[in-house]
Amino acid sequence: MPVRKYNPTTPGTRNRVGNTFAEVTTDSPEKSLLRPTNRISGRNNQGRRTVRHRGGGHKRRYRVIDFKRDKDNVPAVVKTIEYDPNRSAFIALLNYADGEKRYILATKGMKVGATVLSGPNASPDNGNCMPLKDMPLGSTIHNIELRPGKGGVLVRGAGTAATYLGRDDKGKYVIIKMPSGETRMVLATCRATIGTVSNPDHNLQNLGKAGRKRWLGRRPHTRGVVMNPVDHPMGGGEGRSSGGHPRSRTGKKAKGLKTRNPNKYSSNLILSRRKTSK
């Protein structure tokens, strides 16, 4: 069972639904692939707070993930499946035939001892990475590049996957359906990984108490409608007053305002936008 519901022995565990981490095989990360990380706490490079309700949380170390998968034609064996505190998906430690070790995003169903391969000559098997032009139609893919050689930036969250629908007439672009429902074109020379990202039951978890949210670096959130008019555009009024369009603290409209630049360079690559609730 991938998730576990805890018995209500304490108020914090009454509603808690946690991950069993059945896929994780070790709790000791590879030291050579760890890097120190600084706490940003919602600040930009000038030290100014740009995102509210961030701060605190448990100290973390960054795991260096190989999003490029550019070690071609060298087979690698999956040594461990590990938990990564910096992302929702699990990660896999690969031992290459030449002795090098790298972390990659673990795919759903990946087991210790499995062999993965990267490059144009790789077979379209679970965990293998290859150019989009060499993949069969209908493949389930993730960790998709937008620029060749830059590394995967799309479809990296837990349990997500995109579908390879087809190619354009000239063969320069391939058509991909994103998890959001958006259909877009990507250069055929970009790479992607076969399979679905691991930990598909991540969205079924319930933290159970506010303290677990604080451990993740999330501070309490105060609603704008309970503030005074001097503090928020939606504040003030007698009782639970409502009216006007929802806005941010700086007055920017929320819930429906289109913020995408109509002249964005990638607009001509998007064939159909994602479906919204409206």
Structural domain count of the chain: 1
What's the domain range around 114? 3-7+20-38+60-198
- Per-residue pLDDT, 177: 97
What's residue 277's pLDDT?
63
Q: Which amino acid is at 277?
A: S
Mean pLDDT by 10 residues, the chain (278 residues): 90 95 95 95 95 95 97 96 97 97 97 96 95 95 97 97 93 95 96 97 96 96 92 90 85 88 92 80
Output the CA angle 178-183-189, nearest 5 degrees: 80
Residue 230 in domain: no
pLDDT number for residue 240: 85
Distance CA 185, CA 193 (A): 17
- What is the C-alpha separation between 163 and 80, in angstroms, rounded? 27
pLDDT at 239: 87
- The answer to whether residue 167 is domain-embedded is yes
Question: Is 100 within the bounds of a domain?
Answer: yes
Residue 270 pairs with which residues in a beta bridge?
A: 184
pLDDT of residue 214: 97
